[in-house]
């Protein structure tokens, strides 16, 4: 049927396959294996009989996201599915991580092998040997398998509760409808029920006592095995007849071995190899038998390079997230709620203030049908006890949480995120949550969960980068410049081989043994030994040192460290200069040598090496990842795309003036000027800045000169908030109009003026003040208009007006007080008197009367308005409240957009750059990523893909610390190899900032010589860095 769907409508096939696999994962390991075989992914029928069905990138990502967010405990199932996207040459993802804890690995397999209901029990940590009277841990289904005497018994036995209160021992009863009979009364060919139950047969009751009492009609064993107790198979529970199987065992559940079964109604029971197993055990066995290597290559993309890129990083992302899930599960299972609260991981015994159910911002991720758009959510507001220190909590606004009543593993309500958190209140939004009727009458618990936001944004960005969008249409790619610009930048990111581990990870996980075929060397491009020898044939002793290649056996000589002279070793890496074309000269080349005597790695110049005959030795261990080595064509493709001038190209006159200004700037050294000038005309520029060389200054001046050339908006980002703050502070000092986006508590206090939230608050205060002043002005104008109307009335009309509003005014008394002037109030007959000479003002007494009348009218109007409000039905009042709240939200969003549109540079953390707030700005003209070598490539692609750009600057230093990851397995597979290092490996040459101004020259000498190959200079003398007093 699926193959027919492929012929009829290709667009429906991939979502259908995705939904089928989601269903199979929920059914358990057996169903998942059967589904994979049926699709031909694991050598099943479809693969043998014809076509091997495949998934597209979007449907596969949607499949994984649904499983991870709905059933994050099914780690082994996810690990199986990850192999579908891997290319054929990649190493498989095993069922359990290497060096994993045995108990945790067993638990992961059981969770993946069990159906959804059983998985919930296992995830909650319920023991099979629990003494709980409720026996909530008894499985609802058991499978009888391997029966030789009576094969029709094989199948699923389902638990029934009709006999729970009648049995002698508290054990479950299971039932199966057997076709064809099994030795019972019905005979063969008739469907009958088979029960499995626990019973203790009494010898006394069976044969009568010595006193001659009458026998009791109690069940007896058909083979006269009186006095025994154990598990029995029969056509009725505890019945005297119909027993055809037995197993002498006191186990809590029907055993898996030791059964004796009778084939026919007459005859004795025979020993049989069959037995009962849990469904999750069957699932585990099925998963363990699965050929993982046969699964690879079942996800199709636009081209082979893009598909390999997606498969590699999709596996890394989920391995890292699975480690985070395992850490969460371990924390919840090993520590009490009180202990977690003391350390800031949880809030317990919370009282509910309010809860509002409504539409959430889900994208079909929750329970229910796939791809159905927005799902139900609920907003819970809890009172926060006074003794809770908000600053010590491990979660902040925007972090993921788990909401439960007492324990997330027992009565979990749902997962969501913290919307607001401040002293006194905590507000959480929970997706797919059903609000219980007794919500306000119970206490609640909030636990820190995994970073679902980061996972979602990285997965969405990966899918968009590889040319797709989710099956539910939740992440249609934005317009990123022209399509040509977008494709070229994305081509550069996905070009070349992937799968290499960085050298430090290789050394740590392989105890010093490094495979030259798989390690991206710190200093430049790592090439395979075969590739090196093909391009550079080996030379004999005494020949030019340029002939040294990876894999050569060498002897050290001429070193100042005498004990190293004469030591032999193997070349495991070449580190050439990357600031210019690698010329392999002695001044720009260092070789990494693995010494034979202690497996240590030494960096040695070619002149201190000579070739030696390679001894017969054991081959070094290799890293698990074996990708293809990059070719010269790939390297030139990356470097060519990076060097192109993006559109719009800078105006020649403006560019010339900018370069002249840079050359005349006294705050920049020549290497900084060279890097900035390159960034003005290249699509992608890499800047290598060792510590103290002014990398942040270079980044700030790059952004400033982009602005001067008319490029805006611009985005400055980094993986850490401190790096983003440093750039923002530098831009403020240079006068660039900058906006810092992010949570106020994670932003430096000195950036309060440019923080987006602070600017919005100021604008709202100013707008409220303006509205208040406008309202006061309108009130004054209305009062003046009313007064003017009253002054035109006759005395009688004014008296009537006063009487109408019950004002205590005596107009006749006021008329008698007029002295020397003619009142402007017209007489009752409509005639007026001539004004007295010099009279030019209304008498003060009359003014008081008019003011009182106006004020009385205003009070009456206010009272009438209050009555009208009180008369409104509750639903109208609620609708108006929501309208005001919605209008206030729209006003805030409009202010945010206005502030962002007026900014030249937006500074934001990487993952936050993927939020919808910046979407309204459209494509960015340029993006600068600082400290890029300390961020994973998955984090880097979030701003690049979600926001888009036409020019890119990567500032970092691959010789410093690599990215921090939680999963050792993902680290071994290359997650710590940054985008910066990988592009260098593919041929992108960085601009080296060669002068440091931070350290004492003596302190910088070692790193300048050993790590930076003698290219790093000191721009300060030792006199300006005096030693600390006392040293």
HEC assignment per residue over 903-922? CCEEEEECHHHHCHHHHHHC
Asked whether the CA dihedral 102, 103, 109, 110 is positive or negative, the reply is positive
**Would you state the pLDDT for residue 472?**
45
Look-up of token digits 């469904």? 279
pLDDT (tens digit per residue) in 463-486: 999 876 554 444 444 433 444 445
**Whether the Cβ atoms of residue 302 and residue 477 lie closer than 8 Å to each other:** no
Between 245 and 438, name the one with better pLDDT.
245
DSSP letter at 399 equals -
* Best CA proximity match to 603, nearest among 629, 584, 576, 563: 576
For residues 991 and 578, what is the distance between their CA atoms, to the nearest angstrom? 8
**Would you state the pLDDT for residue 725?**
94
Q: Which of 309-313, 496-500, 583-587, 667-671 has the lowest mean pLDDT?
A: 583-587
**Would you state the pLDDT for residue 290?**
87
pLDDT class of 138 with cuts at 50, 70, 90: confident
**Would you state the pLDDT for residue 789?**
81
What's the per-residue H, E or C state across 297-324? CCEECCCHHHHHHHHHHHHHHHHHHHHH
**Would you state the pLDDT for residue 507?**
61
Q: What is the mean pLDDT of residues 134-143?
A: 73
**DSSP annotation string for 593-650:** EEETTT--EEEE-GGGEEE-PPP--PPPP--S--PPPPPHHHHHHHHHHHHSPPSSPP
At residue 48, the 3 state secondary structure works out as helix
Q: What is the mean pLDDT of residues 1006-1025?
A: 90
At residue 671, the 3 state secondary structure works out as helix
Question: How would you classify residue 1029: left for phi > 0, otherwise alpha for psi between -120 and 50, otherwise beta?
Answer: beta
**Would you state the pLDDT for residue 538?**
40
DSSP letter at 384 equals P
For residues 271 and 259, what is the distance between their CA atoms, to the nearest angstrom? 6
**Would you state the pLDDT for residue 648?**
81
Q: Which stretch of DSSP H or E encloses residue 348?
A: strand 346-359
For residues 204 and 989, what is the distance between their CA atoms, to the nearest angstrom? 92
What's the per-residue H, E or C state across 965-1015? CCCHHHHHCCCCCCHHHHHHHCCCCCEECCEECCCCHHHHHHHHHHCCCCC
Q: What is the mean pLDDT of residues 306-323?
A: 93
pLDDT class of 620 with cuts at 50, 70, 90: very low
Give the range with max mean pLDDT: 53-57, 284-288, 759-763, 811-815.
759-763
Residue 504 has pLDDT above 80, yes or no: no
% of the chain residues with pLDDT over 70: 72
Residue 260 pairs in a beta bridge with: 246, 271
For residues 304 and 85, what is the distance between their CA atoms, to the nearest angstrom? 11
**Would you state the pLDDT for residue 113?**
55
Residue 201 has pLDDT above 80, yes or no: no
**Would you state the pLDDT for residue 505?**
64
**Whether the Cβ atoms of residue 645 and residue 655 lie closer than 8 Å to each other:** no
Between 640 and 437, name the one with better pLDDT.
640
Residue 120 has pLDDT above 90, yes or no: no
Residue 939 has pLDDT above 90, yes or no: yes
pLDDT class of 168 with cuts at 50, 70, 90: low
DSSP letter at 500 equals P
For residues 485 and 398, what is the distance between their CA atoms, to the nearest angstrom? 33
Between 897 and 512, name the one with better pLDDT.
897
**Would you state the pLDDT for residue 596?**
73
Residue 964 pairs in a beta bridge with: none
**Would you state the pLDDT for residue 697?**
94
pLDDT (tens digit per residue) in 376-388: 678 899 999 888 8
pLDDT class of 638 with cuts at 50, 70, 90: confident
Give the range with max mean pLDDT: 125-129, 204-208, 387-391, 693-697.
693-697
Residue 688 has pLDDT above 90, yes or no: yes
Average of per-residue pLDDT values in the chain: 77
Q: Which of 17-21, 587-591, 679-683 has the lowest mean pLDDT?
A: 587-591
**Would you state the pLDDT for residue 323?**
92
pLDDT (tens digit per residue) in 58-74: 989 999 998 888 877 78
Query: What tokens were used for 761?
Result: 């608050």
**Whether the Cβ atoms of residue 634 and residue 491 lie closer than 8 Å to each other:** no
At residue 404, the 3 state secondary structure works out as strand
Query: What tokens were used for 730?
Result: 């530098």
pLDDT class of 733 with cuts at 50, 70, 90: very high
Q: What is the mean pLDDT of residues 1007-1017?
A: 91
**Would you state the pLDDT for residue 105?**
59
């Amino acid at each position: 049927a699926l193959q027919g769907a492929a012929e009829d409508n290709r667009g429906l096939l991939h979502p259908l396959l995705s939904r089928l696999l989601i269903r199979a994962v929920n059914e358990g390991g057996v169903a998942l294996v059967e589904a994979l075989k049926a699709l031909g992914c694991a050598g099943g029928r479809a693969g043998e009989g014809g076509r091997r069905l495949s998934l597209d990138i979007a449907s596969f990502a949607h499949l994984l996201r649904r499983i991870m967010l709905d059933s994050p405990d099914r780690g082994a199932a996810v690990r199986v599915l990850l192999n579908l996207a891997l290319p054929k040459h990649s190493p498989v993802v095993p069922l359990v991580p290497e060096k994993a804890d045995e108990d945790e690995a067993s638990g992961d397999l059981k969770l993946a092998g069990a159906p959804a209901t059983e998985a919930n029990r296992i995830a909650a940590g319920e023991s099979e040997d629990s003494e709980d009277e409720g026996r909530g841990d008894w499985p609802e289904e058991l499978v009888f398998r391997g029966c030789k005497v009576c094969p029709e018994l094989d199948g699923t036995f389902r638990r029934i509760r009709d006999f729970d209160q009648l049995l002698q021992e508290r054990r479950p009863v299971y039932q199966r409808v057997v076709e064809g009979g099994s030795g019972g009364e019905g005979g063969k060919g008739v469907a009958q029920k088979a029960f499995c139950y626990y019973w203790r047969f009494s010898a006394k009751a069976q044969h009568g006592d010595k006193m001659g009492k009458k026998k009791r009609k109690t069940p007896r064993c058909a083979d006269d095995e009186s006095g025994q107790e154990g598990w029995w198979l029969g056509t009725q529970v505890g019945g005297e007849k119909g027993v055809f199987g037995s197993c002498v065992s006191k186990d809590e559940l029907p055993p898996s071995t030791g059964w004796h079964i009778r084939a026919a109604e007459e005859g004795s029971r025979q020993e049989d190899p069959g037995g009962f197993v849990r469904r999750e055990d069957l699932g585990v066995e099925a998963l363990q038998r699965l050929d993982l290597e046969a699964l690879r290559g079942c996800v199709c993309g636009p081209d082979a390079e893009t598909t390999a890129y997606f498969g590699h990083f999709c596996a890394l992302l989920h391995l890292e997230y699975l480690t985070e899930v395992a850490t969460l599960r371990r924390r919840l299972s090993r520590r009490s709620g009180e202990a977690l609260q003391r350390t800031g991981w949880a809030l317990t015994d919370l009282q509910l203030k309010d809860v509002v159910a409504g539409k959430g911002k889900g994208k079909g991720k929750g329970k229910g049908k796939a791809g159905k758009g927005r799902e139900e959510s609920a907003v819970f507001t809890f009172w926060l006890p006074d003794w809770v220190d908000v600053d010590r909590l491990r979660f902040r606004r925007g972090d993921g949480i788990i909401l439960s009543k007492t324990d997330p593993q027992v009565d979990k309500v749902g997962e969501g995120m913290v919307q607001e958190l401040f002293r006194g209140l905590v507000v959480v939004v929970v997706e797919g949550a059903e609000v219980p009727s007794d919500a306000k009458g119970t206490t609640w618990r909030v636990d820190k969960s995994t970073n679902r936001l980061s996972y979602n944004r990285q997965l969405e960005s990966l899918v968009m980068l590889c040319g797709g969008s989710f099956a539910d249409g939740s992440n249609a790619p934005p317009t990123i410049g022209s399509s040509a610009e977008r494709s070229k930048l994305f081509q550069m990111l996905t070009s070349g081989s992937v799968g290499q581990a960085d050298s430090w990870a290789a050394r740590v996980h392989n105890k010093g043994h490094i495979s030259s075929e798989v390690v991206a060397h710190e200093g430049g491009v790592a090439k395979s030994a075969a590739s090196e020898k093909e391009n550079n044939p080996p030379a004999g002793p005494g020949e030019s040192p340029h002939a040294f290649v990876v894999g050569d056996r060498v002897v050290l000589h001429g070193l100042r460290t005498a004990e190293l002279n004469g030591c032999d070793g193997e070349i495991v890496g070449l580190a050439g200069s990357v600031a210019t074309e690698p010329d392999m000269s002695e001044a720009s080349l260092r070789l990494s040598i693995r010494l034979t005597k202690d497996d240590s790695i030494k960096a040695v110049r070619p002149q201190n090496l000579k070739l030696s005959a390679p001894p017969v030795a054991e081959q070094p261990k290799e890293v698990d990842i074996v990708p293809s080595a990059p070719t010269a064509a790939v390297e030139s493709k990356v470097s060519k795309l990076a060097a192109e001038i993006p559109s719009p190209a800078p105006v020649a006159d403006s560019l010339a003036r900018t370069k002249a200004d840079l050359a005349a700037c006294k705050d920049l050294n020549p290497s900084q000027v060279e890097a900035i000038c390159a960034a003005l005309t290249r699509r992608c520029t890499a800047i290598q800045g060792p510590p103290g060389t002014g990398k942040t200054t270079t980044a700030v001046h790059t952004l400033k000169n982009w602005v001067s050339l008319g490029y805006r908006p611009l985005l400055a980002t980094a993986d850490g908030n401190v790096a983003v703050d440093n750039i923002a502070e530098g831009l403020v000092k240079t006068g660039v109009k900058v906006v810092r986006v992010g949570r106020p508590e994670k932003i430096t206090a000195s950036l309060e003026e440019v923080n987006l939230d602070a600017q919005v608050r100021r604008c709202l205060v100013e707008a409220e003040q303006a509205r208040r002043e406008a309202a006061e002005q309108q009130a004054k104008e209305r009062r003046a208009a009313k007064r003017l109307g009253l002054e035109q009335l006759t005395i009688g009309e004014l008296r009537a007006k006063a009487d109408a509003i019950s004002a205590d005014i005596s107009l006749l008394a006021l008329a008698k007080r007029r002295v020397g002037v003619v009142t402007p109030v017209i007489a009752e007959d409509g005639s007026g008197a001539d004004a007295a000479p010099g009279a030019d003002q209304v008498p003060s007494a009359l003014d008081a009367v008019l003011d009182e009348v106006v004020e009385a009218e205003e009070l009456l109007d206010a009272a009438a308005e209050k009555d009208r409000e009180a008369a409104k039905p509750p639903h109208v009042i609620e609708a108006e409240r929501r309208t005001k709240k919605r209008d206030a939200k729209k006003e805030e969003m409009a202010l945010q957009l206005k502030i962002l549109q007026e900014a030249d540079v937006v500074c934001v953390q990487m993952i936050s750059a993927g939020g919808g707030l910046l979407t309204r700005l459209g494509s960015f003209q340029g993006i600068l990523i600082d400290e890029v070598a300390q961020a994973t490539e998955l984090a880097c692609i979030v701003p690049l893909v979600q926001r888009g750009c036409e020019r890119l600057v990567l500032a970092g230093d691959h010789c410093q610390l690599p990215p921090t990851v939680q999963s050792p397995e993902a680290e071994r597979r290359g997650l710590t190899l940054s985008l910066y290092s990988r592009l260098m490996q593919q041929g992108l040459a960085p601009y080296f900032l060669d002068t440091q101004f931070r350290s004492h020259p003596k302190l910088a000498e070692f790193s300048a010589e050993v790590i930076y190959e003698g290219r790093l200079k000191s721009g300060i003398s030792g006199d300006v860095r005096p030693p600390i007093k006392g040293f």
